[in-house]
Amino acid sequence: MRVAITTNTLKAGGAEKQRIELANALADLGAEVQLVTLQEKGELHSRVNSQVDLRSASFRGRLPIPTDIIVSGTTRTECFFSSANTLAGRARGWVVVVHNPTGPGAPRLAPGVVRLISGADVVAALSEMHLDSVPELGVRASVTLPNGVDGTDLMSVRRTRQDLRDSFPYDYGFIGRLARDHKGLDIILDAWQELAESEGPRPVPTIVIFGSGDDGPWLRDQISRRHLSSFVSMGGFQPPEAALRQFRTLVMPSRYEGQPMILEEAYWAGVPVIASQYANAESGPGVQVFRPFTSASLASAVAGGTDGERAEFGRGSSSASVAKYDSSDMAREYLRLAARVLENPLRRRSRIANTVRNVATSNTPRP
């Protein structure tokens, strides 16, 4: 099977990381894989395995090597590139995977992108929960293709964490793009301010925030203005294998998510998680979902996790959760879906007719 995977960049981000995990896992299963960047490379470039053919192309250009299936996200550039190359016959089938977050305030897809996506063979969501909420974006998905991670390095993190027990440098941690509204960084600061101002007997827990992004300067300024520097630290960008060794519990107060890669990485590493109701996390062993979406609710969950209640919660995630998100299982699901697409020529002819119409009527995306 020949598979092409598109991505705008290889900068640090969940969707970009998933493209690399998928490409590596497909290559390990014997597929001929090309990973095509349409804008630029980035920090994650070194994580691409040598078996993967890493290429660059203009979104207006040709797919470097003809393929059986092209897998894209929902950006303008990816959809235009995939539509045009499907129309030109350089890809026999097109699968769109919706990585876009859902939830209150999540941006909808542009009408031109929605028209292009209607010409794809399959539109996939990341989980059953995500499948139900994808229509909020303006499209409908028919299948789920869960994200997966290569757990080799993360299992070593699990062993390291077991050795550390209660000697972690920080009580809590956040890992992700520094985007205030999307990732709920303001909720973290408000919750820690409430904890710092409370008069309870417990010491204020510490949290370290790992990541990079446009709201980094704002975050640094707010920590200083609120006099939280004794409790809230910024750790910069670090790979998850390094960051997950440095705190006891992951905090994810997102306002909207698809299926966050860091959540799956936490499962593998046995890291307990406190997540918002919009992070697409399910309550269970090692995962606590706080409701309602308020700083007071997060502060209460954090305060409850600093005493004896942590005993059960702090054991981390169950092996059943881990098994669900293996990268090789993810790759096999993609290959099974690709085989079904290629077995349906009538659907492909209908899709090509849609693609002709949609490429002709869509605005050329900005690079």
* Domain at 345, CATH number: 3.40.50.2000
Whether residues 102 and 228 fall in one domain? no
Q: How many helices (H) and strands (E) does the chain have?
A: 15, 13
367 in any annotated domain: no
With 0-12 CB in 10 A as exposed, 13-18 as middle and 19+ as buried, what is 328? middle
Q: Verify that 290 and 346 share a domain, yes or no.
A: no
Is residue 339 assigned to a domain? yes
Domain residues for 334?
2-148+326-361
Residue 18 falls inside a structural domain: yes
How many angstroms separate the Cα of 287 from the Cα of each of 263, 264, 317?
Answer: 10, 11, 7
| pLDDT at residue 307, as a whole number | 40
The CA distance from 257 to 267, in Å, is 17
* Residue 133 to residue 139: CA distance in whole angstroms: 10
CB neighbour list of residue 6: distance below 8 Å, 6 or more residues apart = 19, 36, 38, 70, 71, 72, 73, 78, 81, 82
Looking at the structure, tell me whether residues 69 and 164 fall in a common domain. no
Q: Residue 140 carries which side chain, given as an amino acid letter?
A: R
- CA-nearest of 251, 121, 90, 120 to 185 is 251
Q: Indicate the residue type of 160.
A: T
Three-class SS state of 24: helix
Please choose, from the candidates 202, 208, 196, 204, the residue with its C-alpha nearest in 3D space to the C-alpha of residue 170: 208
Co-location of 208 and 257 in the same domain:
yes
Residue 212 lies in a domain: yes
Whether residues 37 and 88 fall in one domain:
yes
| pLDDT at residue 321, rounded to an integer | 46
**74 CB-side CA count, 13 A:** 27
> What's the token pair of residue 246?
């440095």
Provide the number of structural domains found in the chain: 2
Pick from 346, 347, 348, 342: nearest CA to 1: 342
Residues 55 and 178 grouped into a single domain: no
What is the distance between the alpha carbons of residues 285 and 270, in angstroms, rounded to a whole number?
10
| pTM score above 0.85 | no
Q: Which two tokens stand for residue 75?
A: 């950006």
Tell me if the bond preceding 260 is cis, omega within 30° of 0. no
CA–CA dist 18, 50 (Å, integer):
17
- Separation between Cα atoms, residue 136 and residue 102, nearest integer Å: 7
Residue with tokens 């990973």: 35
- Supply 44's token pair: 């994650």
Report how far residue 108's alpha carbon sits from residue 124's, in angstroms, rounded to the nearest whole number: 16
What does each of the 367 residues of the chain score in pLDDT, given as a tens digit? 999 999 999 987 888 989 999 999 999 999 999 999 999 888 888 999 999 999 999 988 999 999 999 999 999 999 999 999 998 999 999 999 999 888 877 889 999 999 999 889 999 998 888 899 899 999 999 999 988 888 887 888 887 777 766 688 999 999 999 999 999 999 999 999 999 998 777 889 999 999 988 999 999 999 999 999 999 999 998 988 899 999 999 999 999 888 888 988 888 888 899 999 888 887 877 889 999 999 999 999 998 864 433 433 444 444 434 445 689 989 999 999 999 999 875 555 566 556 555 555 555 555 4
**Same domain, yes or no: 198 and 98:** no
Together in a domain, 207 and 131 = no
Query: Beta 122-125 vs 207-210: how paired, if at all?
Result: unpaired
Residue 355 lies in a domain: yes
Residue 144 and residue 157 in one domain: no
Residue 366 lies in a domain: no
Strand (E) or helix (H) holding 322: helix 319-323
Residue 166, classified by CB atoms within 10 Å of its CB into exposed (0-12), middle (13-18) or buried (19+), is exposed
Per-residue pLDDT at 105 = 79
CA 128 to chain centre: 15
Scan for tokens 């995939």, then name that residue.
82
Kind plus residue range of the DSSP H or E element containing 71: strand 67-72
Query: How far is the C-alpha of 351 from the C-alpha of 93, rounded, in Å?
Result: 9
What are phi and psi for residue 99, nearest 5 degrees? -90, -5
**Cα(270)–Cα(267) distance, rounded to whole angstroms?**
5
257 and 353 in a single domain? The answer is no
Same domain, 160 and 295: yes
Domain assignment present for 51: yes
Do 18 and 136 fall into the same domain?
Answer: yes
Distance CA 113, CA 96 (A): 11
Q: Is 61 helix (H, G, I), strand (E, B) or coil?
A: coil
